Structure 1
Amino acid sequence: MAPPILAQKDKKLFADLLSQYENRQLSKGRKTADQILKKYPEHGETMCMKGLILVHLGQRDEGINLVKEGMRKDLSSHICWHVWALIQKSEHKYEDALKSYIQALKFDKDNFNILRDTAVLQTQTRQFEGLVETRHNLLRLRPYNRHHWVGLAVAYQLNGNLDEAKQVLEHIEGFLRNIGTSNVEFSELLMYHVRILEDMGDFQSAVDMLESHDRAKGGSVLDRMASTEMKARLLAKLKESDADDEKKTAWTERADATWRWLLSQNADGYEYYKGFLANQGIDLANVTDENREKALEMLRDYSNVQFATAPRRLALHVATGQEFQDLIKPYLTNGLTKGIPSLFADLKPLYNDSVKRQIIEDIVEELRATFATSTGDSVEPTTYLWALYLLAQHHSYLGRHKQALEILDIAIVHTPTLPELYMTRARALKRAGDPHGAARAMNDARLLDGQDRFINTKTGKYLLRAGMVNEADTIFSKFTRGGAPAGADLEEMQAMHYLVEQGDSYRRAGKLNLALKKYYVIQKVFESFREDQYEFHQYSVRKTILNVYTEMLKWEDNVRSHPGFIHAAVATVQIWVALYDDATLGPSLQPPETTGSDVSSKKAINKAKKAARKGQPEADGANSKKATAIQPEDRGLEPPRPRDDDPEGLKLVLAEDPLERADKYLTGLSELVPQNMDICFAIYDVAIRRKKYLQAVGMLTRAHSLDSEHPGLHSRIAHLRNTVSSLPEPIPAPVGPILAESIASLLPAEVSLELFNSQYLQKHSSSPMAIVAHAKVAQILKAPQDEVDSILFTVLKEPVQLDHEAAFAVLSYLKEMKSPRAEEFRIACNDRFELSTLFRSDEEIDALQKSFTESGESPADGEALETVI
Structure 2
Amino acid sequence: MSRALPKRNPLPSKEASLFKELLTLYETRQIKKGLKTADLILKKFPDHGETLCMKGLVLTHMNRHDEGLELVKKGVRLDLTSHICWHVFGLIQKADKNYEEALKSYTQALRFDKENLNLLRDSAQLQTQLRLYEALVETRHNILRLRPNQRQNWVALAVAHHLNGNPKEAKMVLEHYQRSLKNVPNYDTEHSETLLYYVNILEEVGELSEALSVLDTNSKSRSIVDRTAVLEIRARLLTKLKAPEADEAWLALIQHNADSYESYRGYFQHLGIPLEQGNKEALAKLEEFATQLPKATAPRRLQLTVAAVDQFESLVKPYIVRNLVKGVPSLFADLKSLYADKEKQQIIETLVESLREEYASASTSSALTSSSGESEPTTYLWTLYYLAQHYSYLSQPEKALALLDIAIKHTPTLPELHICKAWTLKRSGDLLGAARCQNDARLLDGQDRFLNTKFGKYLLRAGMVEEAISIFGLFTKKDAASPGADLEDMQSLLYLLGEADAHKQNKKLNLALKKYMAVKKVFDDFEDDQFDFHGYNLRKFTINVYLKLLKWEDQLRSHPGYVKAAIEASKIFVAVADDPSIVTSLTSSNQMTDAEKKAKKKAKKAAVKAQEEKKTTQPAAADKDMDPPPPKDDDPDGIKLLSCADPLEQAAKLLHPLVTLAAANVDAWIAIYDVAIRRKKLLQAVGALNKAVALNPDHPELHIRLVDLKQRASALPQQPPAPIGAVFIDALSKLVPDEISLETLNSQYLQKHSDNPEAVLAAAKVQAMLKVPLGAVEGTVFALSSGETGQGEKLATNIRTASSALDFLISIQSSRSDEFRTQCQANYPLSTIFKTPTELAPLRDQVMLGSSSSEGGSEEVTP
Q: Same fold (TM over 0.5)?
A: yes
Mapping of residues 284-683 of structure 1, within 5 Å: 284=275, 286-287=276-277, 289=278, 291-374=279-362, 375-379=365-369, 380-482=376-478, 484=480, 485-583=482-580, 607-612=585-590, 634-635=623-624, 640-683=629-672
For 1:79, the equivalent position in structure 2 comes to: 84
CA distance in 2: counterparts of 1:386 and 1:159, whole angstroms? 55
Mapping of residues 801-816 of structure 1, within 5 Å: 801=790, 803-816=798-811
**Partners of 1:90 and 1:637 within 8 A in 2:** no
For 2:238, the equivalent position in structure 1 comes to: 235
Q: Structure 1 pair 185/662, CA: closer, same or farther in 2 (3 Å)?
A: same
- Structure 1 residue 799: Cα displacement: 5.0
Mapping of residues 627-776 of structure 1, within 5 Å: 634-635=623-624, 640-776=629-765
- Structure 1 residue 265: Cα displacement: 2.1
For 1:247, the equivalent position in structure 2 comes to: none
- Structure 1 residue 122: Cα displacement: 0.8
Q: Structure 1 pair 490/617, CA: closer, same or farther in 2 (3 Å)?
A: farther
CA distance in 2: counterparts of 1:457 and 1:540, whole angstroms? 34
| 48-57 or 662-671, which deviates more | 48-57
Q: Structure 1 pair 804/91, CA: closer, same or farther in 2 (3 Å)?
A: same
Q: Structure 1 pair 462/614, CA: closer, same or farther in 2 (3 Å)?
A: closer
**SS of 1:743 mapped into structure 2:** helix
CA distance in 2: counterparts of 1:207 and 1:750, whole angstroms? 65
- Structure 1 residue 31: Cα displacement: 4.4
1:827 aligns with 2:822: yes
Q: Structure 1 pair 553/512, CA: closer, same or farther in 2 (3 Å)?
A: same
CA distance in 2: counterparts of 1:625 and 1:718, whole angstroms? 52
Question: What root-mean-square deviation, in Å, do the aligned CA atoms of Structure 1 and Structure 2 show?
Answer: 2.8
1:124 aligns with 2:129: yes
**Partners of 2:425 and 2:434 within 8 A in 1:** yes
CA distance in 1: counterparts of 2:664 and 2:627, whole angstroms? 39
CA distance in 2: counterparts of 1:617 and 1:231, whole angstroms? 72
- Structure 1 residue 580: Cα displacement: 1.9
- Structure 1 residue 312: Cα displacement: 1.2
**SS of 1:731 mapped into structure 2:** coil
- Structure 1 residue 373: Cα displacement: 2.2
CA distance in 1: counterparts of 2:715 and 2:33, whole angstroms? 72
**Partners of 2:90 and 2:103 within 8 A in 1:** yes
Give deviations 1:649-700, integer Å, cap 9, x for gaps: 1222222322122122223221111111111111111111111111111111
CA distance in 1: counterparts of 2:834 and 2:806, whole angstroms? 9
Q: Structure 1 pair 637/116, CA: closer, same or farther in 2 (3 Å)?
A: farther
Q: How many residues align?
A: 830
**Partners of 1:4 and 1:43 within 8 A in 2:** no
**Partners of 1:91 and 1:638 within 8 A in 2:** no
CA distance in 2: counterparts of 1:625 and 1:710, whole angstroms? 50
For 1:595, the equivalent position in structure 2 comes to: none
- Structure 1 residue 520: Cα displacement: 1.4
1:851 aligns with 2:846: yes
**SS of 2:478 mapped into structure 1:** helix
- Structure 1 residue 162: Cα displacement: 0.9
- Structure 1 residue 460: Cα displacement: 0.8
CA distance in 2: counterparts of 1:101 and 1:298, whole angstroms? 60
Which of structures 1 and 2 has the larger relative contact order (alpha carbons within 8 angstroms, sep 6+)?
A: 2
- Structure 1 residue 606: Cα displacement: 6.0
For 1:51, the equivalent position in structure 2 comes to: 56
**Partners of 2:439 and 2:850 within 8 A in 1:** no
- Structure 1 residue 612: Cα displacement: 4.8
Letter of the 2:224 counterpart: V
CA distance in 1: counterparts of 2:509 and 2:308, whole angstroms? 52
CA distance in 1: counterparts of 2:324 and 2:629, whole angstroms? 57
- Structure 1 residue 508: Cα displacement: 0.2
- Structure 1 residue 163: Cα displacement: 0.9
- Structure 1 residue 204: Cα displacement: 2.6
**SS of 1:180 mapped into structure 2:** coil
Letter of the 1:144 counterpart: N
- Structure 1 residue 317: Cα displacement: 1.1
**Partners of 1:303 and 1:312 within 8 A in 2:** no
- Structure 1 residue 297: Cα displacement: 3.3
CA distance in 2: counterparts of 1:812 and 1:325, whole angstroms? 47
Letter of the 2:832 counterpart: T
1:256 aligns with 2:260: no
Q: Structure 1 pair 129/478, CA: closer, same or farther in 2 (3 Å)?
A: same
CA distance in 2: counterparts of 1:515 and 1:271, whole angstroms? 41
**Partners of 2:500 and 2:515 within 8 A in 1:** yes
Q: Show structure 1 runs of 5+ residues with no match.
A: 240-250, 585-601
For 2:373, the equivalent position in structure 1 comes to: none
CA distance in 1: counterparts of 2:134 and 2:422, whole angstroms? 55
| 707-716 or 73-82, which deviates more | 73-82
For 1:248, the equivalent position in structure 2 comes to: none
Give deviations 1:392-440, integer Å, cap 9, x for gaps: 1111001111111111112122222221111111101001111011111
Give deviations 1:371-401, integer Å, cap 9, x for gaps: 1223343354322111111111111001111
For 1:271, the equivalent position in structure 2 comes to: 262
| 4-13 or 147-156, which deviates more | 4-13
Letter of the 2:258 counterpart: A
Letter of the 2:805 counterpart: V
Q: Show structure 2 runs of 5+ residues with no match.
A: 370-375
| 348-357 or 474-483, which deviates more | 474-483
Q: Structure 1 pair 67/544, CA: closer, same or farther in 2 (3 Å)?
A: same
**SS of 1:708 mapped into structure 2:** coil
**Partners of 1:123 and 1:537 within 8 A in 2:** yes
The match for 1:153 among 155, 158, 162 is 158
CA distance in 2: counterparts of 1:88 and 1:80, whole angstroms? 12
Normalising by the residue count of structure 2, what TM-score does the alignment of the two structures yield?
Answer: 0.91
**Partners of 2:258 and 2:298 within 8 A in 1:** yes
**SS of 1:479 mapped into structure 2:** coil
Q: Structure 1 pair 177/271, CA: closer, same or farther in 2 (3 Å)?
A: farther
Letter of the 1:270 counterpart: Y
- Structure 1 residue 4: Cα displacement: 4.9
**Partners of 2:422 and 2:435 within 8 A in 1:** yes
**Partners of 1:612 and 1:654 within 8 A in 2:** no
- Structure 1 residue 364: Cα displacement: 0.5
Q: Structure 1 pair 103/634, CA: closer, same or farther in 2 (3 Å)?
A: farther
Q: Structure 1 pair 636/558, CA: closer, same or farther in 2 (3 Å)?
A: farther
**Partners of 1:58 and 1:635 within 8 A in 2:** no
Q: Structure 1 pair 537/557, CA: closer, same or farther in 2 (3 Å)?
A: same
Letter of the 2:240 counterpart: K
For 2:9, the equivalent position in structure 1 comes to: 5
CA distance in 1: counterparts of 2:600 and 2:212, whole angstroms? 59
- Structure 1 residue 58: Cα displacement: 4.6
Give deviations 1:705-754, integer Å, cap 9, x for gaps: 11111111111011111101111111111111111111122222222212
For 2:183, the equivalent position in structure 1 comes to: 178
For 1:96, the equivalent position in structure 2 comes to: 101
**SS of 2:153 mapped into structure 1:** helix
CA distance in 1: counterparts of 2:587 and 2:806, whole angstroms? 24
- Structure 1 residue 62: Cα displacement: 3.3
Give deviations 1:753-791, integer Å, cap 9, x for gaps: 122111111211111111111122222222222222222
CA distance in 2: counterparts of 1:767 and 1:233, whole angstroms? 47
CA distance in 2: counterparts of 1:577 and 1:615, whole angstroms? 31
- Structure 1 residue 340: Cα displacement: 1.3
